[in-house]
Amino acid sequence: MRIVLGVGGGIAAYKVASLLRLFTEAGHDVTVIPTEAASRFVGVATWEALSGNPVTNSVFDDVDQVKHVRLGHEADLIVVAPATADLLARAATGQANDLLTNTLLMASGPVLFAPAMHTEMWQHAATQANVETLRSRGVTVLEPASGRLTGSDSGPGRLPEPEAIFEAAMALAHGLQAVAPLSPSVNVTAGGTSTGPLFPLAGRTVTISAGGTREPLDPVRFLGNRSSGKQGVALAAAARDAGATVRLVAAHMEVPAPAGVELIAVETALQLREVMLAAAAESDVVIMAAAVADFRPAEVSGSKIKKRDDTADPVITLIRNPDILHELVAVRDAAGSSQLVVGFAAETGDEQGDVLSYAEAKLKRKGCDLLVVNHVGADKVFGQDNNSVVILSRAGSEPQSAAGSKQDVAAIVIDRIGSELSRVFPRT
Ligand code: C5P
C-alpha cells in the first residue's frame, strides 16, 4: 500500500518514527511529509532513513513532477500524526500553504488524523469545530489518548500509541470505516487498545494456524493435503483489522501471509504442535484453521527412496499424529485460563450421519469453545475463494451460518469471537 505520512509540529513527532517503522515493516511504501515546524522536532534525515524515500515539505521541489498532485492522488491512505491544532485548522479550512496541506486537498483515498496537543487546545471550541468539519467530510479523526502531556499537565491530548494508530489506519484502509464510522466514542487509548465495535479484539493476542502440513517420506517426497491456507490468511487479516496482535503459524500455503501479522513458518504436524503450544501460552485466542495431517510416515528415509525393478512395491506405514487442538484445550483447561479455543472441521456426511451430527460429536470430543464446520468435497472449500460454514458453540447456542468469500466468512468468525470474548471473559 502507498501511504503518505504527514507529520505535524509537535513534540510527539518523535513517536511517529515508530509508527513509520510499523508501516514499513508491514511492507508499505511510505512517503513522509513533515511540516516545517515538525522538522524542528525530528530532522528530515530520520524520515528519509526510516522510509527509504526522499523527504521534502516544499511544493517548489521537483516542480516538474507536480509532487502534491501525484502524492495525494496515488496514496492509498494518508495518515497525519501528530495532528496539531494548527494542522487541523489548516486542513479544515482547506488551506494549501505547504506540501502536506496541498497533498491533503488532492487526497483520493482515506485520511486519518491522530491529534496531539494540550488538553485546553483540544477542548477549545475552535479545534472541536475543525474536527467536526473534517469528520463531516469523511475524514477519520481519532480521539487523543489521555495521560501525561509534555509539561506537568495531564488529560486528553496525548498522541495515541503508534500501535493504536497503525491498527486504526489498517482498519480504515481495509474499508471498516464504511461499516462503523469512528466516532468520538471510539477512544483509542495510550495503551494501544480501543473500545467500541470497530476493534473488538484490540489488546488481544490471537494465534492462528493455517495451511496444510507436509509429512516427509524422504528428502524429496511428502504426504500433503489440498489446503491452500486462504481461510486462515483471511482470518489473520480479519483479526488484525479487529485490532488484535496476530501470530500466523503457517504450514504450506498457496497465498502470502497478510501484512501486519507475525509469521512463523512450519512444515510438519509435529513442528506445528510445538509452535502452537508455545504461542498459545501467550494468547487470548487460538484458532486451529490448519489442515493437520492425522498420520505421518512411521519412517522417514534419509535418502531418496529408489525405484528398482527387482524389489517389491514399497509399503508406507503410517502412525498417528497428536491431536493438537485437543491438546491445546487440555493445556488451557489445566491452566484454568480464560483463553478461547476455536477449531475448524472439514466434514462430509455418510449413511450413518449428516455433516452437522458429525460436527457436534467432534465439538464434544475436541472440547473447543467454537467449531467452524464446512462441508467438503473434491471441488468444495479446498483452494476455492468462497466458503460456507456453520459455527457451533460448546455453550450450546444456536448454530450460526456464514457464507460468502473467505474474507466475509473470516469477518463473521472474528466478530463472533469478539462477542464470545466480551460475553464470557469481559475485560477487567
Ligand atoms: O479431527 P479433525 O482433523 O477433523 O479436526 C479438525 C480440527 O482439528 C482442525 O481445527 C484442525 O486444525 C485440528 N487438528 C489438530 N491436530 C490434528 C488434526 C486436526 O489440531 N492432528
Domain boundary assignment for the chain: 2-197, 205-304+314-424
pLDDT tens-digit profile of 28-38?
899 999 999 99
CATH no. for 205-304+314-424: 3.40.50.10300
Task: Evaluate whether 2-197 and 205-304+314-424 have a shared fold.
Answer: yes
Q: Inform me whether the pLDDT recorded for 381 exceeds 60.
A: no
Tell me the residue type at 300: V
* Element containing residue 205 per DSSP (H, E): strand 205-210
Pairwise pLDDT comparison (242 vs 328), residue with the higher score: 328
Residues 6+ apart with CB under 8 A from 357: none
pLDDT in tens, 199-249: 789 889 999 999 999 999 999 999 999 999 999 999 999 999 888 999 999
Residue with cell 515539505: 57
Based on the residue annotation, tell me whether 102 is a catalytic residue of this protein. no
3-state secondary structure of 245: strand
Ligand 1: centre distance to CA 331 (Å):
16
Place of cell 469478539: 418
In three-state form (DSSP H/G/I as H, E/B as E, the rest C), the secondary structure along 89-146 is HHHHCCCCCCHHHHHHHCCCCCEEEEECCCHHHHHCHHHHHHHHHHHHCCCEECCCEE
Q: At 139, phi and psi to the nearest 5?
A: -80, 140
Tell me how crowded residue 45 is: count the other CB atoms within 10 A of its CB. Answer: 9
pTM: predicted TM-score of the whole model, two decimal places = 0.60
Separation of alpha carbons 198 and 413, rounded Å: 15
Report the residue among 214, 296, 323, 381 best suited for mutation to probe ligand 1: largest number of ligand atoms under 8 A from its CB.
Answer: 323
**Which burial class, exposed, middle or buried, applies to 319 when counting CB atoms under 10 A from its CB (0-12, 13-18, 19+)?**
exposed
Q: Is the CB of 47 under 6 A from ligand 1?
A: no
Pocket test for ligand 1, best of 266, 268, 273, 292 (most atoms within 8 A of CB): 292
CA 192 → CA 10, 71, 167, 197, 421, distances in Å?
20, 29, 9, 15, 18
| pLDDT for 68 | 67
CB atoms within 10 A of CB 175: 10
The CATH classification number of 2-197 equals 3.40.50.1950
Q: Which three cell numbers stand for residue 334?
A: 489445566
Per-residue pLDDT, 186? 32
Which residue is catalytic, options 57, 225, 374, 387?
Answer: 225
For residues 341-346, average pLDDT: 95
Determine if ligand 1 sits within 6 Å of the CB of residue 249: no
| Lookup: cell for 94 | 482547506
**CA–centroid distance, residue 361 to ligand 1 (Å):** 13
CB contact at 8 A, 161 and 204: no
**268 C-beta closer than 6 A to ligand 1:** no
